[in-house]
Structure 1
Amino acid sequence: MKVTSFGEVLWDDFPNGKVLGGAPLNVTVRLQSLGIDTAIISRRGDDADGGELLRQIQSKNVNTDYLQICHECATSLVKVHLDKYGSASYEIVYPCAWDRIAVDDAAIKRVAESDAFVFGSLATRDEVSRKSLAVLLKEAKFKIFDVNLRKPHYDIDRLLETMKQSDMVKLNDDELYELAAAYGSPYHSIEQNIGYLVELTGVKILCVTLGSHGAVLYKDGELYRHCGFRVKVVDTVGSGDSFLGGLTYKLLNNAPPHEAIAFACALGALVASRHGATADISLEEIEAFMYPA
């Protein structure tokens, strides 16, 4: 099984130090830890932060053959602010290295050979990376769009067009309500707004995360809900990305939807109980958490 991701690689800068991050990379690291052959298509700066970023990603066994060096822009460093509940807000500098992602024949070949292609909304904020993504989307077999609305780094109309090109979309409940309202939805419930977006975009699979309350998954005309797992939250950074990694892993392995969403919720909860987005969590640990003896 092979998955390739496209988008931001960065340092999440917490008050107590920096941690490897970036939504597509977080998904990639999680899939690699579950035994999937992964690669990330991105760009880092020609600086000390970029060199350390490369070493950290390689330590996670992710293929870095498509991680480019940018000589014009610095490696991305994102300031993370946590509230008293561990919920995060971000300060994202523009431009940075991953705004300048290029595409070549090797990257195109890798995407074409992959079982799934994961990408996010943040890396579409700049025309350079956006054009590269457009090329790769034409080659991808199964396109997974991870929506991350970080003001002011998105365009409502562009998001709609991207969802229409995708096979699977993941977003959180706040993002669902914001986008559904922007596209004219008259509805107020999560389930109705999922239906509205599915009809509007034609997407085959749509998943909405609900924080500590679990998630709702639409697949094959059916809705599946999981109420989540209770944990003591350290920080929420990367929990949604790990959720997506878990969901992707299970769906690619043809697990039933109810099993896939439960596994994804467990993985997201475990990540929320740790510091940073890429803490090491084994398959055995996830299963022990889901099914305690």
Structure 2
Amino acid sequence: MRNTTGEGIRVLAVGEILWDIFDGTEILGGASLNFSANIQRLGGAATLITGVGADDRGYRAIDAMKLLGLSTKAVQIVPGEATGIALVESTPSGETTFHIPRPVAFDRIDTSTSSISAETLRLIEWIYFGTLLQTEPALEDFIAELIYTQPNVRCFYDLNLRTGHWNYALVQRLSHRCHVMKLNLDEAKILSGLAHPSSQTFDLTSFCQQWTSEYDIDTMCVTLGAEGCLIYSSGSVDTHSGFSIEVHDTVGAGDAFAAAFLHGYHSKWLTEDIARFANAAGALVASRPGATPEWTYGDCNHIAQQ
């Protein structure tokens, strides 16, 4: 395992920023925000394109981003729209559910690529996107144009399906646009069922092989909860065990995993090292309260070396 962050990755993330509300307590979150914060913790530089309202939650979100070390230069204040929220609940089985009212400020951002500085576009190495934001057609078109105008920049798609905020045709289109795709086991089963409705069986390796071939994806990573993850790349399948930890809550754990995975992948680490580091980051965040708890590269490395 590496003991230094090395040269940081430069990522342009496009997505949601919102307040996760647990039993009346508000904690800043949103997959894109969480991912960006973790890229910063790993020594990288993330620019997040998103929107907040001209309201108390919006101004608090901007202040919180600054405390996380994130640039706010691409955060748009959208008059007349509220800052996003997610009502978070845990099921008896420990799964987390989200209710996200829409439309909100992040759905109404300026969708002209001229809103992004030339300097930002010149420096980025990866574009990160998810599914939720792109249920708005104008925002899907915006990100597609952004990808088209940056042919040398690679794309990381973190599926993050939220009930009522995705559809199969959208996922198919977004899969065509990415180089690396990350999803969890339940999401893989859902997509497999939609792709092969007559099939009565599910095989994860077969699904990865078929999906990456169909959509020309270089690498697919499937998180397996406490069991770790499976990485499929160029016909090679690697499964890596997770780490035993006491879970506080799982909100943000997948986003930390995604950031750590991309950090190692971009740095051309061995697959085993990428998986151990990403599993460690996910476990670390799951062991602490909130979606973006304080942690260091050393904390993550300590778990990864167990």
What interval of TM-score do these two structures reach, taking the shorter chain for normalisation? over 0.9
Question: Who is 1:209 aligned against?
Answer: 223
How does the TM-score come out when normalised to structure 2?
A: 0.91
Say whether the 8 Å CA contact 1:40–1:67 is kept in structure 2.
Answer: yes
Say whether the 8 Å CA contact 1:100–1:128 is kept in structure 2.
Answer: no
RMSD: 1.5
Say whether the 8 Å CA contact 1:111–1:139 is kept in structure 2.
Answer: no
Tell me the amino acid that sits aligned with residue 72 of structure 1.
G
Say whether the 8 Å CA contact 1:85–1:233 is kept in structure 2.
Answer: no
Deviations 1:130-185 (A, max 9, x none): 22212212134110011011121112012101101111111111111111221227
Decide which moves more: 9-18 or 41-50.
9-18
Shift of the alpha carbon at 1:105?
Answer: 2.2
How does the TM-score come out when normalised to structure 1?
A: 0.95
Identity of aligned residues (%): 28
1:267 aligns with 2:276: no
How far, CA to CA, are the matches of 1:130 and 1:69 in structure 2?
20
Shift of the alpha carbon at 1:127?
Answer: 2.2
Question: Who is 1:145 aligned against?
Answer: 157
Pair 167,108 (structure 1): closer, same or farther in 2 beyond 3 Å: farther
Question: Who is 2:260 aligned against?
Answer: 246
Give the gaps of 5 or more residues in structure 2.
1-8
How far, CA to CA, are the matches of 1:198 and 1:289 in structure 2?
31
Deviations 1:192-221 (A, max 9, x none): 111111121110011111111111011232
SS at match of 2:48: strand
Q: Pick the aligned partner of 1:8 from 2, 16, 19.
A: 16
1:55 aligns with 2:67: no
How far, CA to CA, are the matches of 1:139 and 1:280 in structure 2?
36
Say whether the 8 Å CA contact 2:192–2:207 is kept in structure 1.
Answer: yes
Say whether the 8 Å CA contact 2:11–2:128 is kept in structure 1.
Answer: yes
Alignment of 1:66-81 (within 5 A): 66-81=74-89
Tell me the amino acid that sits aligned with residue 263 of structure 2.
Y
Question: Who is 1:175 aligned against?
Answer: 187
Deviations 1:205-256 (A, max 9, x none): 1111111111101123211111101111111111111100000011111111
Alignment of 1:60-139 (within 5 A): 60-84=68-92, 86-102=94-110, 103-107=112-116, 109=118, 110-139=120-149
Say whether the 8 Å CA contact 2:20–2:86 is kept in structure 1.
Answer: yes
Question: Who is 2:247 aligned against?
Answer: 233
Q: Pick the aligned partner of 1:36 from 29, 32, 44.
A: 44
Pair 269,34 (structure 1): closer, same or farther in 2 beyond 3 Å: same
Q: Pick the aligned partner of 1:26 from 16, 31, 34.
A: 34
Alignment of 1:267-286 (within 5 A): 267-286=281-300
How far, CA to CA, are the matches of 1:170 and 1:139 in structure 2?
23
Equivalent pairs counted in the alignment come to 292
Decide which moves more: 138-147 or 42-51.
138-147
Shift of the alpha carbon at 1:11?
Answer: 0.5
Say whether the 8 Å CA contact 2:133–2:139 is kept in structure 1.
Answer: yes
How far, CA to CA, are the matches of 1:41 and 1:161 in structure 2?
21
Pair 279,139 (structure 1): closer, same or farther in 2 beyond 3 Å: farther
How far, CA to CA, are the matches of 1:153 and 1:269 in structure 2?
27
SS at match of 1:129: helix
Tell me the amino acid that sits aligned with residue 291 of structure 2.
A
Tell me the amino acid that sits aligned with residue 107 of structure 1.
I
How far, CA to CA, are the matches of 2:136 and 2:117 in structure 1?
20
